[in-house]
Structures are given as C-alpha cells and as structure tokens.
Amino acid sequence: MKCRILTLLIIFCLVVSSSQAQQEDKLFQNFKIEGRLINNKTVFKILPTNQGAWFLGMKNGYSVYISTFENGGFSEYTLINDNLLPAPSEDFKNTSLPHNYAEAMRKMIYEESYEPQGSSFDAMLNANETMSYHLLAYILFSSYDTTLSIMSGLQFSPQTEPREKFKIKVEITNHPSYVYEKVIVKEFLHSITKSPHFEVLPGDEKATIQWKHIDFKDLYVAYALERSEKKSDFKQIGTPIPFNSISKAGKLGMISWVDTLPQNYKPYYYTVRGYDFFGYLSDPGDTIMVMGKDITAPLAPFKVYAEHSSIDSISIFWSQVKSSDLHGFQVISSDSEKGEYKLVHEQLLPPTQFSYQFKIDEKPDKYYRVLSVDTARNANPSSLAYLNLTDTLPPSIPENVLVSVDSNHVATVKWNSSRDEDINGYRVFKAYHPSNGFVPITPKSIMDTLFIDSLSRKRIDRRVYYKVLAIDKYFNRSELSNYSSALIPDFTPPIEPLLKKGELNDLGQSELEWVSSSSDVASFTVLRRIKNDSIYQMIDTLNFDFNTYTDLSFDTVKVNYAEYYIIATDSSGNNSERSNGKRVIQKRTTSTSEITISSINEIEKHVELNWDYTSDKDYSVLVYRSIGDGNYSLIDRVNEQSDYTDSDVKPGENYSYKLGILETSGKRSPLSKETSITLK
C-alpha cells in the first residue's frame, strides 16, 4: 500500500508542477494554477498540491480574485468567485458522464471520510496516505472529461476577454492562510495540440508502445492509447495512462506501455493522444502499424547421441516432443566443446525425422548438437553429444617427395606410397618460401601419389615448395613430409628503368643516371643513338648494382648530339623495353642571327604573332610569353614558320612576347625585343 501511495505521489508531483511558475512564487505553495483558451475565453483550473488544501477547498470552497495590468501596473484585486465548490451529488449521476470517474469523484466529495480513527500515529499516517491517494485520483478523474473538470469545483473563468497580462489570487474561503498568487501571461495559455511522436516495438502477440512524456509534462495529465485493425475507426485501449517517474522508462522521461495483440502476423495500427488538465484530448498524432511475431523457440531435442557408424559415415540420433509449430531439425558440429559450430547439412530435416547419417572424407568433428526450428525460424539447441572414434594413431609420413616444373609453369609432385594398410589418401601443401607457411591445395584427400599443380605466371617467385601428409580411414593425419622444391621458369621481362639524368660534363663526356623499376635485375645495357641514325648502338653492359654511367667516347664522336637509353636484363635473360631517352648536346654556341617580331594583333579573342626570318640551316622558333608583370616562360616551339597564334589567353589581360632561334646544331640566337598587347 505504501509503495503504491509513493508511486502515485511522485506522479502527482509531476502532474501539478509547471514550467510557467514565476520567480515570485513562494518556496511552498498549497496549489498551482493551469490555464488555457476555450472558445477564445480564458479558463483556469486550481491544482491542490497537498491533501490538506484539497480537503479544505472541497469542503469550504475557493475564493478567486483577479487583478488586471494597465498603465504599467496591476490594479486592485476584484473578487470574481467567492464560493467555488464541486457540483451537487445528484449532478454526478448524470448518465452522459463517464460513470466510473463520475461516481468515484462523487464518493470522494460526499461519502468518503478521511478522519483518523483514534489518535495513534499509525491512524493519522493511514488517513494522510488515503487522502493523498484520493487527491491524485480526483485531479486525474477531473482531467479525463471536460464536464467533470467543470463539476470538480477546481475550474473557473474570469468571464472577460483574454488579456495579455493579469494576476490571479486563489484562497480557501474563510482560510486566508491557504493562498496562491500568480501572474498570467497570455502566451502561456495553451490550446489543443497534437500528440507526441511515438514508436512501436513488435513482440510475440504483443506490442510495446513508448513515447517521451518529459517534453509534454506541462501540457498533459495522461494519455489515451488507441488501436485499429484497418487504419481507421480507432478505439481507446483500457483506461488513460499517467506518467510513472519511478518506472524504468519513467527514469528516462518516457512512458512505455505493453499491449496484448489478438494474433501474430496481422497488422494493427496505433495512435497516442494526450489529456490536458481540462479534460480535452489532443488531436490524433502519428499512426504506426505493427505486427506481432513469433519469437518463442520450440522445445529442444533430447537424448541426442552420435556414433561412428562406419569407416566413412557418422550417425546422429535424437528424440523430440510433438509440436504443431515444429518446422524441422538442423544438425551442427564443432571441433571443440566451446568452438564455433557449423552446419552439417544445408536443408532442414523434416519434423518427423529423428536421425541423420552423413558421409565423411576427412577427420570429423567430435561435438554435435541438434536444433529444433519452428515455422518462424526460432531455434533451440539440444545438449551436447560427443563422438568417439575407434582409431587415433596417425599414419606414417610420406617419403621421397619430388617436384619438377616445366616451361608451361606446370608443377608435378610425386611421392612414395604409404606403408600403412588403412591409408585413405593424401593432402598436398604448397609455399613459395619454406619459412612462409604451407597452405593446403587439395580440398579433399587424393588417393594417387602424383599431383599436378598449375602455377600463376603473374608471380615473381623463383622457386616453389611442396609438402605432403597422409590420412587414414579414421581420418588421423600424419605429420607433414620434408619439403621438396623446384626452380620456376621465368619468361616475364623486368620493367624498363627510369633514366632521370643525361647531361654533358666539363670534359665533354655524357653522364647518365637511372633508377631500376624491378627487383629481378641482373644487368643493365647502355644504348646510344646519334643524329640521323636509326640504329641503337650498345656501348656498355653494367652489373645490376650500377645506376650511373659516363660515356667517355662522346667527345670523340663528331656529332651535335646523341640520345641515350637503358635496358634491364633479369637473371633468366629476359630484357625489358628501352627506358625513356635523354638527349645530350655536345656543345652550344650562340648564333649572331636574330629574329624580330614584325606585328602582333588580337584576332577573334586570340593573339597572332608575325615575324621575318630566313636561314639556310634547320632551325626552330622558340616562343616566350609573360602575363602582366610576370616572368617570361617558353610556351611553344615551332619549326621554320613566320607566324604563331596563342589561343590560351583571356580578355582584359596584358601579354608580352619574345622570340628566339634554336638551330639543330644547338646554336641559339639572342631573344628578340619585347612586344606587348592588352586584350579587349
């Protein structure tokens, strides 16, 4: 009883508390006031906060005073009601009222007695708890119906137009010590609103509906949960639901309600509405559909055992209680008691089958369970069944393992037959280095003592390694044999080097430097091609650890320039493609011939340059450009022509140009004088 009273009192304290309380409120008040607009009229309700204030107010009535705010201040209080009392007893018997709530309120007013019987402490405590319980029930009942709210003796209206700001004072008639004053601001008066968002969690023939109350604690006293089977014609489920702050959900400011569903896998629709202090229900909010689902697993199989029924098969047996919801059985196995279990078969066994036999071609798992599965895929595992094997001695290790690899990258692995009579096959393992770990390459055991393996041509490994183990008919395994290896033919050329330097030193010799792009390189070959020659001449071969070379004979070759390339050769004699080339010019002299820009024009948003220059030697024209006050940079190189069009320009920019001559012999002319243009 005391626990229930405590719960309801905590709920009550949350019901009557309000965020609208003003700073001028006293630390302890006998009641609060809530307000709202009804048909554009201001209506208020008195909420007693302790059993004494409620009991005296119900017996003696309330006196209500109002003070208006005008010209920057409040007027004197005016009495608007001097004896606010509950309706007469007979009025509560009106058949249009909700009978349970109306009759309970009538009894609390006119029939129930809260006077302690005797003077003992227990008697007074019992009367106090009873009155506290009835106080909360009275406020809740009066909030479930608009007519009961008026008949409660707690609701009143100033009968004036709504004001932006006024002050209300309430006291118990003839008991002026029970008084409460509050400044009311019109914007705090609420009207009907939509209900909170909520969520529905499906269960087994049930649904859990939950929503936040903490955001609506100043608006709603309780909530109506409504359900429908066709998304319309919603009906309220049970009685209104108040907030319980000491529940698991209540500690999070939530309300959680579990509704029993008539059946699973049928759609049901829910909506939540709120009751305010004046008995008004909020508009319907969200509508959420949910279907219950079966989450109850069937009874587990029992009397499960496993046996090694033959050399190559295992049999599992079990028993099961008959069930109409049973869909079938699933056998699972593991190699250890606490290991990960795997499926022994893919399809469910029928519910009338109580044994299962399966073939084995390797050492079987020792631990088995049988799952009973219902039509909703809920499963329940049996107790553990342990498998005993007859023979546990491993066979002898395979001997004389030999490997060869042909030019097609096909490896042939051979070994001697095992001396054991109960041998059931062999497994072959492979690695590309003896210390990197051998992996099995035969998914199942093989009976032959010869195995053919195709090697990938994309790998760069130089050798391949193999080991073999033997398996007997009871799936005992031998140790791995000693490894045998073979050289892998290499037909893949290395990647060409990167020639990053080719320049003339002070002695007139060509200095080269490159970077190798492959790890499998045995040597480098230096090639040279001189002007007007289509033949690449090999001038030297270097060891793999060289990456520089100096052509000492370049100054003796009477040519203007030479091009150099590098070729990499791997340990199998495969040659890479030629590297990128580098041109080394033997000498550079300055030509005395100069070029002059004859005209510069803007044509169709482009810049067109013209010049006059003739020569009996092969040459190129170098075009340099500067944008604004920037530096000159080479933008193009053209062969023996008299004009050039620069398309990479923008309107409004200033462009300056200079030209130069480069002969094929390496001679360069001085740059021409600067010519500028500003584009429109």
Residues 527-537: pLDDT tens digits?
998 877 778 88
Residues 471 and 502 in one domain: no
On whether residue 178 sits in a domain, the answer given is: yes
Looking at the fold, whether 38 and 157 belong to one and the same domain comes out as yes
Listed in order, strand segments (DSSP E) in 354-474 are 355-359, 367-374, 379-381, 385-386, 402-405, 410-414, 423-431, 439-440, 450-454, 463-472
Residue 514 falls within a domain, yes or no? yes
Element (H, E) at 532: none
69 and 117 share a domain?
yes
Does 235 fall in a domain? Answer: yes
Token pair recorded at residue 27: 């630390």
- Say yes or no to pLDDT of 608 above 80: yes
Instruction: Decide which of 329, 354, 386 is a domain's last residue.
Output: 386
In a domain, 340, yes or no: yes
Residues 36, 145 share a domain: yes
Same-domain status, 157 and 41:
yes
Residues 321 and 419 in one domain: no
Residues 215 and 172 in one domain: no
Q: Is residue 136 part of a domain?
A: yes
Shared-domain flag, residues 212 and 250 = yes
Structure letter (DSSP) for residue 220: -
Residues 283 and 306 grouped into a single domain: no
Render pLDDT for 333-378 as a digit per residue (tens, 0 to 9).
Answer: 998 888 899 999 999 999 999 999 999 877 788 899 999 999 888 9
Torsion over CA: 663, 664, 665, 666 (sign): positive
pLDDT in tens, 272-290: 999 999 999 998 888 999 9
pLDDT higher than 90, residue 390? no
pTM recorded for the entire structure: 0.49
Q: Which band of pLDDT confidence, cut at 50, 70 and 90, is reported for residue 149?
A: very high
Q: Among 125-129, 223-227, 414-418, 564-568, which stretch is predicted with the lowest mean pLDDT?
A: 125-129
Domain boundary among 244, 260, 291: 291
pLDDT value of position 151: 95
Q: What is the pLDDT of residue 147?
A: 95
Q: Crossing angle for the helix pair 121-142 and 99-110, nearest 10 degrees?
A: 140
Average pLDDT of the residues in 77-91: 92
Q: For the segment 183-200, what is each residue's pLDDT rounded down to a tens digit?
A: 888 777 777 777 888 999
What lies within 8 Å, CB to CB, of 647 at 6+ separation is 606
- How far apart CA 364 and CA 424 sit, in angstroms, is 14
DSSP H or E run through 3: helix 2-16
Q: What is the CATH number of the domain that holds 615?
A: 2.60.40.10
Taking the chain, what is the end-to-end CA distance rounded to the nearest angstrom?
A: 96
How would DSSP label each residue in 386-419? Answer: EPPPS-----PPP---EEEE-TTSEEEEE-PPPS
Average pLDDT over residues 622-635: 89
* Residues 238-250: tens digit of each pLDDT: 899 999 888 899 9
Q: Is residue 493 part of a domain?
A: no
What is residue 481's predicted lDDT score, i.e. its pLDDT?
93
Domain presence at residue 660: yes
Look at residue 4 in the predicted model and tell me its pLDDT: 40
Q: Same domain, yes or no, for 416 and 375?
A: no
* pLDDT for 461: 82
Are 212 and 361 part of one and the same domain? no
Residue 671 has which token pair? 């740059």
Dihedral sign (CA 508, 509, 515, 517): positive
8 A C-beta contact, residue 415 and residue 481: yes
8, two tokens:
């309801």
Condensed to tens digits (0 to 9), the pLDDT of residues 548-592 reads 998 877 766 767 788 999 999 988 888 999 999 999 887 655 555
- Token pair 């360069």: residue: 668
pLDDT recorded at residue 13: 42
Domains of the chain: total = 6
| Average pLDDT, rounded, for the chain | 86
Identify whether 392 is part of a domain: no
- pLDDT beyond 60 at 480: yes
Give me the pLDDT at residue 65, please: 93
Q: In 3-state terms, what secondary structure has residue 536?
A: coil
Helix (H, G, I), strand (E, B) or coil at 480: coil
Examine the pLDDT at 436 and tell me if it is beyond 70: yes
Q: What is d(CA 526, CA 550) in angstroms, rounded to the nearest whole number?
A: 10
Distance (Å, whole) CA 220 – CA 18:
11
Question: 216 and 145, same structural domain?
Answer: no
The three-state (H, E, C) secondary structure of 69-135, written as one string? EECCEECCCEEEEEEECCCCHHHHHCCCCCHHHHHHHHHHHHCCCCCCCCCCHHHHHHHHHHHHHHH
Q: Is the pLDDT of residue 451 over 70?
A: yes
Last residue of a domain, one of 528, 551, 585: 585
Interval 411-433: pLDDT, tens: 999 999 988 888 889 999 999 99
Segments forming the whole domain that contains residue 537: 498-585
% of the chain with per-residue pLDDT over 90: 47
